[in-house]
Every structure is written in C-alpha cells, then in structure tokens.
Amino acid sequence: MSNATELTEDNFKDTVASGVTLVDFWAEWCGPCKMIAPILDELAADYEGKAKIGKVDVDSASALAQEFSVSSIPTLLLMKDGEEINRFIGVTGKSDLAQAIDGAIA
C-alpha cells in the first residue's frame, strides 16, 4: 500500500490548496511510473507532517492531466499553496526531489 495520497478531481484542489505537495501524474501501465513509486513512498514517509505526496492516475483523472498540460508520465509537480513551483518529467532521483521539497518548505 502506498504512503502517498490518491488524488482525484474531487479532492485535488483541497489537498494542494495549502502547504507543499508533490503530485505524481502516473498510470498503472507505465513502466517508469512503477520505477519511481518506491521513491515517492519513501518521500511520503520522510516528509510526513511537513509536505504531502499525492498521486493522480491519469486514466481516471484525465481532466487534471489536461488542466496541468501533462503530456508524458511520470510527471511530478511540486506545488506550494495551490501553485505549481517546479516540474519534473520522467524518473527523478530521490535526492533531487527531496532537495526541491526542502527548498519549497524553507
């Protein structure tokens, strides 16, 4: 079971509205998405209470993928108080993601 929060079109805006959230746009059939999933689970545990990690399944929440112009997956958006402040496309290392989250929290 993932430590990340499942984000849908219903709960997305409320979840990212305040604080720092790393949002993973992914799909079940995506190989690179499966590769990055354990990294996101570790980050969710590492940043519990400091930042949120969320996952958007692009197959079931295609409107969100369109809204954020996600054209390839995995795409990770770093959001602060509801605004996108950084974007990572493809498999990204844990240290790079942690550094970006730390910068957003500071």
The count of other CB atoms within 10 Å of the CB of residue 6 is: 13
Task: Return the amino acid letter for 75.
Answer: T
Active-site residue, 30 included: yes
Active-site residue, 8 included: no
Q: Which of the following is catalytic: 27, 30, 37, 98? A: 30
Supply the Cα-derived Rg of the chain in whole angstroms: 12
As a whole number of angstroms, the distance between CA 68 and CA 85 comes to 12
CB 79, CB 95: distance < 8 Å: no
Q: Which of the following is catalytic: 7, 20, 23, 33? A: 33
User: Shortest CA distance to 77 belongs to which of 69, 50, 102?
Assistant: 69
Q: Which residues are catalytic?
A: 30, 33
